[in-house]
Amino acid sequence: MTNQTKKVITTNKKAFHDFIVTEKYTAGIVLFGTEIKSIRKGGINLKDSFAKIEDMEIFLYNCHISPFEGGNRNNHDPKRVRKLLLNKKEILKILGKIKQDSFTVVPLELFIERGFAKLEIGLCKGKKLHDKREALKKKDIQREVARFK
């Protein structure tokens, strides 16, 4: 896939800080017209959002998409629950991992590919406090090494 067809809109940096990502899936997302217009302008926040499987369908919760300024009184609710589009086989695989190994499904990145909004979700395990500190130390060391090159 070339980078020209994929335009990253937002990345959930908090997810990479708080979780260890083991697997990634790309899902479509069901949106209203004013939501996609707002997303194209960058009016989306994935910070505290998560995905949940209900009745063999996967839904996105707590994802804030700002109301579109050019919208009318029928504008969307910013925090509404949105359906994600995945194959049944992928949903079953995710569901098995959640029940067996206590994983969490967290949105990692939202991008537009060939005109459609796609959400990259990750199967994640929570990091412990010492893991977070260790990751920060590694990042500081890499920053120092890059500065002296």
pTM, whole model, 2 decimals? 0.78
Is pLDDT above 90 for 121? yes
Is pLDDT above 90 for 17? no
State the pLDDT confidence band at 123, using cuts at 50, 70 and 90: very high
pLDDT of residue 30: 92
Is pLDDT above 80 for 47? yes
Is pLDDT above 70 for 72? no
18 CB burial (10 A radius; 0-12, 13-18, 19+): middle
Q: Is 148 left (phi over 0), alpha (psi -120 to 50) or beta?
A: alpha
In whole angstroms, give the CA distance from residue 39 to residue 107.
15
Is pLDDT above 60 for 2? no
Question: Within 10 Å of residue 65's Cβ, how many Cβ atoms?
Answer: 26
